[in-house]
Each structure stands twice: as C-alpha cells, then as structure tokens.
Amino acid sequence: MSLESLIERFVDDREQLAPEELDALVEGLRADPARAAELREQLVIDDLVAQKLAVDRRNFLAQVEQRIADFQRTQAEIDDQVSDLRALAEAEIQHPPRPVADARWAWYSLAISAVLLIGAFLIVPRVLSSRRAVAKVIGIEGEVRVGWGEGVSQPVMGGAVLNHSYINVHEGSSLAVQYADGTQVRLNGGTQANLEEAEDSGGKLVRVSKGEVAATVAPQPGAGMRFLTPHAVATVLGTALRITVDDHSTTLDVTQGTVQFDHRDGGKPVLVEKNGSCVASEDELKLRELRWPDEQREALAFLFNPFVRQTFVRNAESGNPRETELVPRDAAILDDFHHALDLAGGSFVLSTEPPDNAAALLFEQFRESADFSLEIVLQPAAGSQQGKVLTLADSGAAANVVLAQDGEEFIFAIKTEQQPTPPALRLGKIASDRPTHLTITYQSGELIAYCDGVETVRSREVTGKLAWHPGPLAVGGDAGGQSPWRGTVEGIALFKTRLAPSDVARNVRSYRVLAGRAGL
C-alpha cells in the first residue's frame, strides 16, 4: 500500500491501520519529512474542524471546569485520609511497646508459657476461634444459606455469623450483616463468600468467590478490613465500597474514602478514591470512571443522564449519540440543581425540531428491533393518582410504550406484532417517599420488571417483535400533554436490547453510588 494511502487512512481513523501498516507508515514518514509535516497538518486541521462541528466537543471549557471541581473534591478526600492515617500513627507513637527489662527473665517466662499452653495453642483455641461469632445478621431477603463445618442453615435475624462461615446468597436474594464496630456488609444475589477473622492480623476478612458485596466500613485499626477475591485484594481503613466478582475479573467501586487495591499476582497497588472504580482482570489493575448506565451502553437508544447533565438520542445510521433535549410543557420544569424532571402537572416531550428531529431518530432505533429495555428513576408525588409517567407515540392509537400510575399501582404496556393492543402488565406499588429505580426489559415472550434491581414481575403474555409507529417520547403525560402524572423523574435510559439480571443489578448499583445513595 502506498504511503499516500496509509496517510489518508491514518487521518481517517487513527486506530484503523494494522501493526504492519503502522510500521510502513513510520518508515515512510521518516524517509519523507515533508509528508510527515503534511500528515501532522492534516491531523491538526482534522481536530480543529471536529472542535467546531462535533456536538460532543463544543463544551470543552465546561468539561475542564468539571475536571477541576472533581480534582478539588478528590484532594479534599485524600487530605481527610492522610489526617486519619497521621492520627493513627501519632497514637502509636504516644503508646510505644514497653521495653523488656531483663531479656533472660523474658526468655524463661516465654519458655514456661510455651510448655503450659502448647496443647491449648494446638488443639482448643483453633476450634474456639472458629466458633467465635464475627458478625450478626441484620437483614435477610429471599433464600440464603450459611454453612459452618458440615452444617448448613437458613440464617435468622439477629443470629450470629461464625468465623469461617460460608455464605451462599441465591439470585434475587440478599443478606446484610453487622460487625461489633458497626461495619456493615451486604451480600447481594448470586454471591458466595466467607466471613473470617484474619489469622495474621485479627482484622476482618471477607473472601468473595463470586457475586456482589457492598460495605460501609467503620474506621479500622491496624491492617484494616480486607476483601479477597480470586483476582485482587481490597484493603479498607474506613469507607464505603462495592465489590463485584465474576469468573474473569473483580470490580471495585468506591463510594466514600479511599481503598487500596492490590492485584493477587503482586505489582504496584492502586488507590481508588471516592466515586472511582477499578477492575482487576487476570493480569492487570485498571482504573476506570464510574458511570450510569454501566452495562449495555452500546445498545443505548436514548439517555437522560442527571450525573453528566446529558440528554442524547443515538443516530441509528452512524451509531453516534446526538445531543438533544426534553422540552417542558405547561407546569413541568427542569430542576437545575438536581437535573431532574419536576412534573407538577406538566410534561416533557423529546425535541422534534429539525434538523435533528430526535423523536424520529429514536423511532429509527427500534424500527427493526425485537428487544426493548427501560430504566427510569422516579418518585411519585402521591401514593395514589392517575397519570402517565412515560409514553412513546401515545396519540390516539395504541401507544408503542406506556408506563403509568393507576391508583396505587403502576402499569406497563408495550406494542408488538402479536399484540397491537397490548395488555397492561401490573407492576405493583412504587414508594412515594424515596426514588425507585425501575427497570423493565422485554424480549419476545418474556417481559421482566425489577424494582431497585430486584425482580418483581415476570410475564410471558407479550410476544413478537416490536411493531411501532412514529411518535414522540413524552415524560409525565401522553404525546399531547394529557393524562399528567405528578412526581419527579431523575434518569431515563432506553435500550434496544434485553438487559440480563447482572446488567440490571450493576446499573442500579452504579446509579446509587453516583447519586450518593449507596448505603446499605
């Protein structure tokens, strides 16, 4: 391939060239400095034009401002941690170990003690320490099994969890335990873990084989509390965190404070700070940004994201997100502080203004789709009311999608080839005193609803591909602004795919962490 062609392709996409082609490009540019200068100019102009025209590159100054604010917050957190560690160190200095006055007497004492206690050290205490309670049960949902030795039982509220207990939490269930110092650990559905007292340091130790564990850890003396997974060790002095373990990796999300994360194979540890995340794979630790949604992002068709204050609809043709807006009608307002949709008798509708016509772009996303998922974080203003929370193309004929509150219950309907007039699936009540993360996912023949990541309804009534007609996305009413619903909507994500239970759980947890609601 000619140097000219390599240059054109490199400018087109910096990651397009194969290693051999990159070698040829480097060699060619070294031999021809004029072409190197020309390529550099192309890259510079390419970026300047992108700065001018690309939607996601127009807010650079605001992005820098946000990064500086993040940096300031992180610095404050680190300063707090350093102060804590310094206080611990000072306490050690003020109470140093007492020097031994006479070394010979010390040796005699030690030898006699050893003879007298050797049997006890070898036989009895191991059993006693194993039988010691390390924590007590403060919450159980669903099916949980706790094993110790050969015995397995269902834990009870207030019951003790013994040292070296093996815990198996079934899918959709959870177990919360509390240590004597107030440290709380929640083991979510699908988790297998052991609770132990570390033999070397006496500190708290949680071995997580798989699943998801969230913890709020009280300040720990000495070596701290440790979470061991097949891939990594998280060491905690006092913070809130979540650990998710699958066959290939361990993900650590930190809500408060700082956690030291070490790979099991050694290497330099990583300090993960508040709102930070780190993935330990088979061979490396990789820091990453905590975000919502975290799973199936490539299948996102529409997103109203309160954390980055972004609303976008994906262009079906290019696959790229296009920024858009939800336009308020009547008494609806965008709460600037929380970036939430405040619905007090009005509604929002997705922009249909040319040239974007976001509603049309959204329709294109689902034209040939067989799957659909919705995540919405909402809080009704009243436990009982009539109104439509979210609708798609709801203007007379059967809507593509309707999520509504009908008295105390919420209902959901989705139009398909087989059900042009779809049945309303009853989702049950949703609390009016706190936000609820509702997830609904559809794949022909199966519709599942989750509240806060826990499956609540499953239906096989609806079948077939989506058979939708064009129409606007409206929040807090129908297409014409009728059937208003009162309440608050914080986040909305529409996916053109089914979400697996693990996707649902992870997205809910990420949202909670980002919203500062990751407590147990």
- Minimum Å gap between C-beta 51 and other proteins is 6
Site membership for other proteins, residue 1 (CB under 8 A)? no
Closest listed residue to residue 2, CA positions, set 46, 43, 45, 32: 32
Q: Which of 55, 111, 397, 424 binds other proteins (CB under 8 A)?
A: 55
Q: Which of 153, 154, 320, 386 binds other proteins (CB under 8 A)?
A: 320
Site membership for other proteins, residue 68 (CB under 8 A)? yes
Helix (H, G, I), strand (E, B) or coil at 463: coil
Residue 169 or 316 having the CB closest to other proteins: 316
**Using an 8 Å Cβ cutoff, are 212 and 505 in contact?**
yes
- Minimum Å gap between C-beta 36 and other proteins is 5
HEC states along 108-149?
HHHHHHHHHHHHHHHCHHHHHHHHCEEEEEEEEECCEEEEEC
Distance of CA 161 to CAs 166, 211, 247, 365, Å? 9, 19, 26, 50
Site membership for other proteins, residue 30 (CB under 8 A)? yes
CA torsion angle for 9, 14, 17, 18 (degrees, to 10)? 180
Q: Which of 6, 29, 270, 404 binds other proteins (CB under 8 A)?
A: 29
Q: Which of 1, 3, 6, 54 binds other proteins (CB under 8 A)?
A: 54
Site membership for other proteins, residue 19 (CB under 8 A)? yes
Site membership for other proteins, residue 25 (CB under 8 A)? yes
Burial code (b: 16+ CB inside 10 Å, e: under 16) for 275-294 equals: bbbbbbeeeebeeeebebbb
Q: Which of 1, 67, 108, 154 binds other proteins (CB under 8 A)?
A: 67
- Minimum Å gap between C-beta 40 and other proteins is 5
Tally the residues of the chain: 520
Site membership for other proteins, residue 37 (CB under 8 A)? yes
**Using an 8 Å Cβ cutoff, are 341 and 329 in contact?**
no
Residue 8 or 92 having the CB closest to other proteins: 8
Site membership for other proteins, residue 318 (CB under 8 A)? yes
Site membership for other proteins, residue 47 (CB under 8 A)? yes
Angle at 257 between CA 288 and CA 77, to 5 degrees: 95
Site membership for other proteins, residue 51 (CB under 8 A)? yes
**Using an 8 Å Cβ cutoff, are 420 and 398 in contact?**
yes
- Minimum Å gap between C-beta 362 and other proteins is 16
Residue 86 or 286 having the CB closest to other proteins: 286
HEC states along 213-247?
EEEECCCCCCCCEEEECCCEEEEECCCEEEEEECC
Residue 315 or 432 having the CB closest to other proteins: 315
Closest listed residue to residue 239, CA positions, set 227, 256, 253: 256
Task: For residue 293, say if its preceding peptide bond is cis, omega within 30 degrees of 0.
Answer: yes
- Minimum Å gap between C-beta 210 and other proteins is 29
Q: How far apart are CA 127 and CA 120, in angstroms?
A: 10
Residue 12 or 335 having the CB closest to other proteins: 12
Site membership for other proteins, residue 61 (CB under 8 A)? yes
CA torsion angle for 80, 82, 85, 90 (degrees, to 10)? -110
Residue 70 or 409 having the CB closest to other proteins: 70
- Minimum Å gap between C-beta 67 and other proteins is 5
Q: For binding to other proteins (CB under 8 A), which residues are involved?
A: 5, 7-15, 19, 22-23, 25-26, 29-30, 33, 36-55, 57, 60-61, 63-64, 67-68, 71, 315, 317-318, 320
